[in-house]
Amino acid sequence: MRQNTPARKLGRPRDADSVETRARLLAAARKCFGENGFERTTNAQIADVAGLTSAAIYHYFPSKIDLYAAVFEEVQRYIYAEIEKGIESHHSLVDRFSAALDVSVRINREDPSIAGFVVDVNYEVQHHPELFSFVEPQRQRSANLVKRLCQDAVANGEVREGVPQAALEDLLAVLLSGLLRFSTLVNNSPRHAATVEVLKAMLRSTDMFAAPISR
């Protein structure tokens, strides 16, 4: 007698479903954390936005801290991967920094929840010190990027004599973080983009930078 064998389930493999579910969960958590903050965000809220059950979240993340850290890591990885792609064809400090600003405008236009989440990280770490060890390694990406751009500029002879590299790094970091905060404050992508264009024009017109030395 012929035995009936279970029919193979059609559709995507289970691991592909898991990857998609995790991505949906991170996107929902980013939105909720950005809008409500770490403390007021609940698993029930995140699950509702993601279209999951609250219990399903624990399959991916054992705690809310782990979920928050995963969101921050994903956001940082995405932002700086996009920035690296944006600046790779440019060589001068002004051109590279301008390209990084252009990337930030595009990201904010495509998904404002990213900026909303990042802007609140410092506040959350101050009020929830248990988050520090999870997010601090990722926060170094911004400082490292700015330091690298400035080091390259100094090595290429672009920075006028008398301009301290450390002060230049601080200035560029302030401009990046300030524009990020501004974008969430005004919640107006065209206004944010216009402000960035004015800043780029100012950078190109200053006598602080010279053309790179040909090597």
Residue-wise pLDDT for 41-55, tens only, equals 999 999 999 999 988
Query: For residue 119, with 0-12 CB atoms within 10 Å meaning exposed, 13-18 middle and 19 or more buried, which class applies?
Result: middle
Is residue 75 assigned to a domain?
yes
Q: What is the pLDDT of residues 120-155, one digit of tens each?
A: 998 899 999 999 988 887 778 888 999 999 999 999
In the chain, DSSP finds a helix count (H) and a strand count (E) of: 10, 0
Domain that holds residue 97: 65-205
Number of domains observed in the structure of the chain: 1
Is residue 92 assigned to a domain?
yes
User: In the numeric block, which tokens belong to residue 23?
Assistant: 């991505």
pLDDT (0 to 100) of residue 88:
95
pLDDT (0 to 100) of residue 16:
52
Closest C-alpha among 87, 83, 76 to residue 153: 87
Predicted TM-score (pTM) of the model is 0.82
Residue 33 CA to residue 209 CA, distance in Å, equals 40
Contact partners, residue 30, CB within 8 Å, separation at least 6: 71, 74, 75, 113, 114, 117
pLDDT (0 to 100) of residue 7:
43
Q: Looking at 11-15, 105-109, 113-117, 138-142, which range is the least confident one?
A: 11-15
Is residue 59 assigned to a domain?
no
Task: Look up the CATH number of the domain holding residue 173.
Answer: 1.10.357.10
pLDDT (0 to 100) of residue 141:
82
pLDDT band at 215 (very low <50, low <70, confident <90, very high): low
Is residue 127 assigned to a domain?
yes
